């Protein structure tokens, strides 16, 4: 999909563990319905902002990788940002995607915090407060708004703690009915 850019951060050292944890995995896999939703999101964005692209940072995350990432943060306050391996991340079911936006020059749009920046500044549920405090700008919130609107157009929904994380379908149903990729 030319309207989607791929930058799998966990397949590079450019992530919070500073190493490639994906090994040979170099594609952004999703279940078909989630992939179709991502395509719809990208098409919606192309109609609204023809020069922009969705950038995918992460999609399917095998359970073994989720376990390794969790182990890195276990015992720290940051562990709250990762799903416990026992219940599983929706990434491991192929129905979650981490995404951002690129401008007409192929540069990431400023969202006020970076992908996987585990802090309150990344929380969508604190945006109004951060705007009032001058920690986020109206433009950064507008960028986040464009990303959310595109992903919602594709059938995704957000979570309260990460502006970049989007889930397709029902969380409980996915965990109950879909197999995890190990």
Task: Tell me if residue 162 is catalytic.
Answer: yes
What's the count of helices (H) and strands (E) in the chain, helices before strands?
5, 5
Contact 59, 29 (CB under 8 A): yes
**Catalytic one of 108, 129, 162, 167:** 162
Measured CA to CA, the distance from residue 171 to residue 126 in angstroms comes to 23
Nearest C-alpha neighbor of 164 from the set 107, 104, 124, 106: 124
Contacts of 8 (CB under 8 A, 6+ apart): 22, 25, 26, 27, 28, 56, 57, 58, 59
Nearest C-alpha neighbor of 115 from the set 89, 143, 90, 138: 143
Residues catalogued as catalytic:
162
């Amino acid at each position: 999909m030319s309207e989607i850019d791929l930058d799998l951060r966990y397949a590079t050292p450019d992530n919070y563990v500073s190493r490639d944890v994906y090994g040979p995995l170099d594609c952004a896999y999703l279940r078909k319905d989630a992939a179709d939703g991502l395509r719809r999101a990208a098409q919606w964005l192309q109609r609204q902002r023809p020069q922009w692209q969705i950038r995918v940072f992460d999609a399917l995350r095998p359970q073994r990788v989720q376990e390794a990432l969790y182990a890195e943060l276990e015992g720290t306050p940051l562990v709250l940002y990762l799903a416990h391996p026992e219940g599983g991340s929706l990434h491991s079911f192929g129905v979650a995607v981490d995404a951002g936006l690129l401008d007409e020059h192929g540069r990431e749009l400023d969202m006020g915090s970076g992908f996987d920046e585990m802090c309150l500044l990344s929380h969508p549920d604190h945006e109004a407060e951060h705007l009032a405090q001058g920690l986020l700008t109206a433009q950064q919130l507008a960028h986040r708004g464009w990303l959310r609107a595109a992903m919602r157009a594709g059938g995704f929904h957000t979570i309260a703690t990460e502006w970049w994380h989007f889930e397709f379908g029902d969380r409980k149903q996915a965990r109950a009915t879909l197999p995890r990729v190990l």
